[in-house]
Amino acid sequence: MFTGLIQDTGTITRITPGAMTDVWIRTSLGAEAFALGESIAVDGACLTVVEKGGDTFRVQAAPETLRRTTLGARRSGDKVNLERALALGDRLGGHLVSGHVDAVSEVLETFAEGGSWVMVFRLPPELAPCFIDKGSVTIDGISLTVNAVEADRFRVQLIPETQERTTLHGKGPGAQVNLEGDLIGKYVARLFALRGAPEAGQGPGLTEAVVRAAGFTPRG
C-alpha cells in the first residue's frame, strides 16, 4: 500500500525491452538500502525492486503493466514519481493507494488560478462511479482531491508544493497519465453494481434488505 505522497522524482536511465521490460531508475532515496523484492510506486504503478546499486535500482514491468499504464511510452531521461511502500505506523497523509492503475487518462486543459495550477483530465466511463466532488484520486502516483467532476472529465488543483515536487505540472493537453480511483469508492461502486443500482434500472440498489443480507441490522 501507498499514500500518494511523492518522495522523489527519479530519472529513468535505461530501458531494456523483452519478455519482461527492465527499467533502471536513479533516485535520491538511497537505493542501496532498498530491499530486494520490496514494492515501489513508479508513476503510481506498483513495481518490484529486483536489483539495486549505488543510487540506482531496477524494476521489471510485465506486458499487462505496459498495456494498462503509461510506462510503455517512457524513455531514458524521463522523470517519474516515486514512493516507497507504506510501513505500518507511518502517517497516512494522502489516502489509501494500492498502486494498481485502473486506466490511462489524458490532460484536457491546464490553467493558473491564483498560486495553484488547475488541470482537467478525461474521466474514463468505467471509473466515473468512483468519482465525487472533494473525493480522492491518484494521478501518476500523486494523491489529489477532485475539485469538480462532470460526465466525461474531472478537475484537480496543484498547490505550489505539488508543482515543485512532482512531474505533473509539466504535462500539457494531450499528455497521458495513470489513474487509480479511490479504493473505498471502488468497493462501494462494485456493491451497487452487484446489487443493481436504481439508476441503471437493474434492481432496488442498496435497500434495508440488502443491508440485512450483508449481516447488518439497521437501527432507528
Active-site annotation holder among 13, 39, 56, 98: 39
Name residues whose C-beta falls within 8 Å of residue 92's C-beta, 6 or more positions apart in sequence: 3, 86
Q: Is 98 within the bounds of a domain?
A: no
Q: What is the mean predicted confidence (pLDDT) over 41-58?
A: 97
pLDDT (0 to 100) of residue 52: 96
Of the candidates 53, 84, 115, which is a domain's last residue?
84
Would residue 145 show up in a list of annotated catalytic residues for this protein?
Answer: yes
Q: Are residues 179 and 190 in the same domain?
A: no
Sign for the CA dihedral angle at 159, 149, 133, 175 comes to: negative
Check whether 93 has a pLDDT greater than 90: no
Q: How many domains does the chain have?
A: 3
State the residue range of the domain holding 196: 186-220
2 is annotated as an active-site residue: yes
Query: Over 60: is that where the pLDDT of 218 sits?
Result: no
Is 92 part of a structural domain of the chain? Answer: no
Q: Are residues 154 and 200 in the same domain?
A: no
Closest C-alpha to 114, from 157, 146, 171, 172: 157
> Is residue 100 among the annotated active site residues?
yes
**Given the residues 28, 35, 62, 207, the one annotated as active site:** 62
Asked if residue 179 and residue 192 are part of one domain, the reply reads no
pLDDT tens digit sequence for 116-141? 999 999 999 989 988 999 999 999 99
- Residue 94 covered by a domain: no
In the residue annotation, 48 being an active-site residue is answered as yes
**pLDDT (mean) for 97-102:** 94
Q: Please, are residues 4 and 89 in contact by the beta-carbon 8 Å criterion?
A: no
Q: What is the mean pLDDT of the chain?
A: 90
Confidence of residue 200 (pLDDT cuts 50, 70, 90): very low
Residue 2: inside a domain, yes or no?
no
Catalytic site residue 130? no
- Clarify whether 162 is annotated catalytic: no
Find the catalytic residue in 31, 45, 46, 189: 46
The better pLDDT of the pair 171, 190 is held by: 171
**Do 66 and 12 have their domain in common?**
yes
Q: Cell digits for 119? A: 488541470
The reported pTM is 0.86
Reported as type and span, the H/E element at residue 165 is helix 160-165
Residues whose CB falls within 8 Å of the CB of residue 58, separated by 6 or more in sequence, listed in order: 22, 23, 24, 25, 49, 50, 51, 52
Question: Among the options 35, 145, 209, 216, which is catalytic?
Answer: 145
**112 plus 146 within the same structural domain:** yes
The pLDDT value given to residue 27 = 98
% of the chain residues with pLDDT over 70: 88
93 occurs within a structural domain: no
Supply the CATH number for residue 166's domain. 2.40.30.20
Q: Among 16, 28, 35, 48, which one carries the catalytic annotation?
A: 48
**Of 57, 84, 111, which residue is a domain's last?**
84
- pLDDT at 89 > cutoff 90: no
pLDDT at 192 over 80: no
